[in-house]
């Protein structure tokens, strides 16, 4: 926790510097007052990012938060390597209001912050260059993940009101999904054939009558 305390201030500074340089990014946070939490399970780190008038405030601890992302160093490394988050299972968990999380993460994306370089620079003195680089790359992967997948992965499933937990583990891996889609095609063909048979039976019944 002491390490996290050392990191949060500098991290907040680099995030806010980027947000301040982008009026559009800052404007997109207007009216947003709730926290989005980020948990790195294996480091025992949890902090929340809360929009304020001049950017975001980073506070230690994961509660209270409207939405949360929970992962591990390995999870971040997989994100950083460009792995599809839908195939990551329990390595990446998303909780709460996904639309709100996307709004806050989207503001950071909009700011065009070079998260990989900035986070590496901030974390290097306390965690060493390798872990610092890994975290930076992983967090950049998290933002990229937001761009491509938060809506796709969550918005269709997690209702904003219920703030239900949606776990990346629910998603199948690509091979399983492909096999499942083949089975769906087979069922659809069978249903088509069945419908055709029923139509023929109905026609012949009408003719006999």
Partner 1 sequence: MNQKTTHFGYAEVDWKEKASRVSQVFDSVAGRYDVMNDLMSMGVHRAWKRFTVDLACVQKNDQILDLAAGTGDLAAAMAAKLGPRGGITLADYNYEMLSRGRDRMIDDGFAGVASSVQADAEALPFADDSFDCMTISFGLRNVRDKDKALRSMLRVLKPGGRLLILEFSKPANPLLSKIYDTYSFEILPRMGQAVAGDAESYRYLAESIRMHPDQDTLQSMMNEAGFERTQYYNLTGGIVAVHRGYKF
Q: Which residues contact residue 12 at a Cβ distance below 8 angstroms, ignoring those fewer than 6 apart?
A: 55, 56, 57, 58
Q: Is 111 in the site for partner 1 (CB under 8 A)?
A: no
H helices of the chain, where? 2-20, 23-28, 73-80, 98-110, 115-127, 129-150, 174-208
Q: Pick from 5, 185, 192, 195: which binds partner 1 (CB under 8 A)?
A: 5
Smallest separation, CB 39 to partner 1 (Å): 18
Q: Is 197 in the site for partner 1 (CB under 8 A)?
A: no
Q: Pick from 12, 39, 102, 118: which binds partner 1 (CB under 8 A)?
A: 12
Smallest separation, CB 24 to partner 1 (Å): 15
Q: Is 24 in the site for partner 1 (CB under 8 A)?
A: no
Q: Which residues contact residue 128 at a Cβ distance below 8 angstroms, ignoring those fewer than 6 apart?
A: none
The contact set with partner 1 (CB under 8 A) reads 5, 8-9, 12-13, 16-17, 20, 50, 52-55, 57, 59-60
């Amino acid at each position: 926790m002491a390490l996290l305390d050392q990191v949060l201030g500098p991290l907040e500074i680099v995030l806010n510097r980027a947000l301040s340089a982008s009026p559009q990014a800052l404007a997109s946070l207007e009216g947003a007052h709730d926290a989005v939490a980020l948990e790195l399970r294996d480091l025992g780190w949890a902090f929340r990012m809360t929009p304020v008038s001049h950017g975001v405030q980073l506070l230690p601890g994961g509660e209270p938060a409207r939405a949360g992302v929970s992962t591990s160093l390995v999870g971040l490394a997989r994100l950083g390597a460009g792995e599809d988050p839908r195939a990551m299972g329990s390595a990446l968990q998303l909780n709460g209001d996904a639309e709100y999380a996307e709004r806050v993460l989207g503001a950071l994306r909009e700011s065009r912050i070079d998260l990989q370089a900035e986070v590496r620079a901030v974390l290097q003195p306390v965690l060493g260059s390798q872990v610092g680089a890994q975290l930076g790359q992983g967090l950049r992967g998290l933002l990229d993940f937001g761009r491509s997948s938060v809506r796709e992965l969550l918005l269709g499933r997690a209702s904003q009101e219920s703030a239900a937990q949606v776990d990346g583990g629910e998603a199948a891996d690509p091979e399983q999904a492909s096999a499942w889609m083949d089975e769906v095609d087979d069922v659809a063909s069978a249903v088509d054939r069945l419908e055709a048979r029923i139509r023929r039976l109905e026609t012949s019944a009408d003719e006999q009558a």
